Amino acid sequence: MSAAKDEVLEVAGRAVTISNPDKVFFPKSGHTKLDLVRYYLAVAEGALRGVGGRPMALKRFVNGAEGEAFFQKRAPTSRPEWIETVELSFPSGRTAEEIVVRDAAQLAWIINLGCIDLNPHPVRAGDLDHPDELRVDLDPVPGVSWAQIRDVAMVTRDVLKDFGLVGWPKTSGSRGMHIYCRIEPRWTFPEVRRAAVALAREVERRAPQIATSRWWKEERHGVFLDYNQNAKDRTVASAYSVRPLDDARVSTPLMWDEVPTCEAEAFTLATVPRRFAEIGDPSKGIDEAVGSLEALLELSAQHEAAGFGDAPWPPHFAKQTGEPSRVQLSRRKREDRPATPKGAVPPPAPGKTVGPTGRRRTTMPLIEIARAASETEARAGLQRWRARHAEVWSHLA
DNA sequence: GCAAGCA
DNA sequence: TGCTTGCAACGCCAA
DNA sequence: TTGGCG
Ligand SMILES: [Mn+2]
Ligand SMILES: [Mn+2]
């Protein structure tokens, strides 16, 4: 830190004071607090598409990315009059005035508070009980390859399409990926979460080697589709958020044709502004692709009828009606443990694996190379196969 | 990161 | 004036 | 009281 002087920026017609502008926020890559503010202003159009009009929890790193962080839901009482808030209510009856950002000045102001990533709720301030965003949070268990995450993302895209939704992918900037769907604000939080449970189970059904819908860590393998991130009061780091990691990695929206080859480490505070200037925001159309949860909720009803009801909720939530016992297998009372482990995923609706002749079709993906006429034809065929069976490609040793 | 309280 | 201090989320369930 | 999970 050289001169401990405030920096006053003119942003969206307002004066925003940045304290400690030269403070190093990312020691390993050298970026300062002012670098972080400048980054957010460079990608403000995209960042605001992610957080605009939404109440948000503040995660504050007042001593930089390597310092200890704390959460803050209630807006600081000392704030400019142009900082908007909205009152949220919790099940306990307590309330919180959370910040709502709509423009670049408000964005710069919260970055000055020491926020590195942005964590908005999936609702707009005008309707706090009806999310307009279904969030698919892909969380790899430790050791899972990036290739597997990409493949689960592609399978998720197919499932969403089959159920009438358009997915918008981004790296999380941490270890996984996020896929968001804009939805009509017609469903409550518990309903949106149940749609996410059904989606997670369907992705696992299609790609059982690399995807899991299981809440308990000891029962997971591959990539976990974290349906509970759609519960009320849960937030997710938004598009263009910088993550508090050494290289200042960014949660970066992607075009779907980038997903099969993207590398998360390519997107940082240092590289994303250029990308944004050159190609703009791949998620620009998200607000125009409004979908319905009806099909996923119908799938959920089928699961329920097949004996697969609700899935465990996170800690700190009251027990929900219909929720299974909130305990992992290894801690369950002996007499409550199933003799044969119950799968996480119900079978498909009938009539899907049997062809018109009644002869059973092959259910497992099968590669045939020996029949190809030439090597190039064989290679081309292999690529087509890969595109159609993303669910197992990354799993091949 | 900031404001209040204290020397 | 300058330094220190307190404060900044959600808060349940099962064994 | 401990450990579950973001
Ligand atoms: Mn995640
Ligand atoms: Mn998660």
Q: Which residues are within 8 A (CB) of A144 and not within 5 positions of it... i.e. 6 or more apart?
A: A210, A222, A223
Q: Which residues are within 8 A (CB) of A282 and not within 5 positions of it... i.e. 6 or more apart?
A: A168, A253, A254, A255, A258
A34 Cα to the center of ligand 2, angstroms? 29
| The two three-digit tokens of residue A53, written as one number | 């009009």
**Residue whose token pair is 């007042």:** A62
Domain ranges of chain A: 1-120, 129-239+283-315
A276 Cα to the center of ligand 1, angstroms? 23
Q: What ipTM was predicted for this assembly?
A: 0.98
Q: Identify the CATH assignment for A129-239+283-315 out of 3.40.1130.10, 3.20.20.70, 3.40.710.10, 3.90.920.10.
A: 3.90.920.10
Strand B close to A19 by CB, under 7 A: yes
Residue that wins the pLDDT comparison between A353 and A34: A34
In this prediction, residue A395 has a pLDDT band, given cuts at 50, 70 and 90, of confident
Looking only at the bridges linking them, the beta strands covering A211-212 and A223-225 are parallel
Looking only at the bridges linking them, the beta strands covering A84-89 and A223-225 are unpaired
Nucleotides of B under 7 A from a protein CB: 1-3
Question: Which nucleotide does the CA of A236 lie closest to, via C1'?
Answer: D6
A276 Cα to the center of ligand 2, angstroms? 26
What per-residue confidence (pLDDT) applies to A2? 57
Summarised one tens digit per residue, pLDDT across range A218-229 is: 999 999 999 999
Asked whether this chain's domains A1-120 and A129-239+283-315 adopt the same fold, the reply is: yes
Helix (H, G, I), strand (E, B) or coil at A348: coil
Our CA angle for A24, A269, A283, nearest 5°, is 150
Summarised one tens digit per residue, pLDDT across range A223-280 is: 999 999 999 999 999 999 999 999 999 999 999 999 999 999 999 999 999 999 999 9
Q: Residue A74 CA to nucleotide C8 C1', Å? A: 8
What per-residue confidence (pLDDT) applies to A164? 98
Exposed/middle/buried for A97, CB within 10 Å: 0-12, 13-18, 19+? middle
Nucleotides of C under 7 A from a protein CB: 8-15
Strand D close to A388 by CB, under 7 A: no
In this prediction, residue A336 has a pLDDT band, given cuts at 50, 70 and 90, of confident
What per-residue confidence (pLDDT) applies to A355? 34
| The two three-digit tokens of residue A120, written as one number | 């908005």
- Give the containing element (helix H, strand E) for A200: helix A189-206
CB A135 within 8 A of CB A44: no
Footprint of strand C on the protein (CB under 7 A): A 57, 60, 62, 70-74, 90-92, 94, 96, 233, 315-319, 325-327, 331-333, 336
Strand D close to A221 by CB, under 7 A: no
Strand D close to A139 by CB, under 7 A: yes
Look at residues A176, A88, A157 and name the one whose alpha carbon lies nearest to residue A125. A88
Q: What is the mean pLDDT of residues A111-125?
A: 98
Summarised one tens digit per residue, pLDDT across range A287-308 is: 999 999 999 999 999 999 999 9
In this prediction, residue A358 has a pLDDT band, given cuts at 50, 70 and 90, of very low
Q: What is the mean pLDDT of chain A?
A: 92
Q: Which fold has domain A1-120?
A: DNA primase, PRIM domain (3.90.920)
Distance from C-alpha of A36 to C-alpha of A174, rounded to nearest angstrom = 17
CB A45 within 8 A of CB A253: no
Q: Which residues pair with A182 in a beta bridge?
A: A133
Q: What is the mean pLDDT of residues A66-78?
A: 97
Helix (H, G, I), strand (E, B) or coil at A294: helix
- Which DSSP symbol is given to A253? B
Summarised one tens digit per residue, pLDDT across range A168-206 is: 999 999 999 999 999 999 999 999 999 999 999 999 999
In this prediction, residue A166 has a pLDDT band, given cuts at 50, 70 and 90, of very high
Our CA angle for A279, A153, A300, nearest 5°, is 125
Strand B close to A24 by CB, under 7 A: no
Q: Which residues are within 8 A (CB) of A216 and not within 5 positions of it... i.e. 6 or more apart?
A: A312, A328, A329
In this prediction, residue A328 has a pLDDT band, given cuts at 50, 70 and 90, of very high
What per-residue confidence (pLDDT) applies to A346? 86
Rounded to 10 deg, the angle between the A33-42 and A272-279 helix axes is 10
What per-residue confidence (pLDDT) applies to A382? 57
Measure CA of the first residue to CA of the last residue in chain A; give whole Å: 49
Strand D close to A275 by CB, under 7 A: no
Ligand closest to the CA atom of residue A173: 1
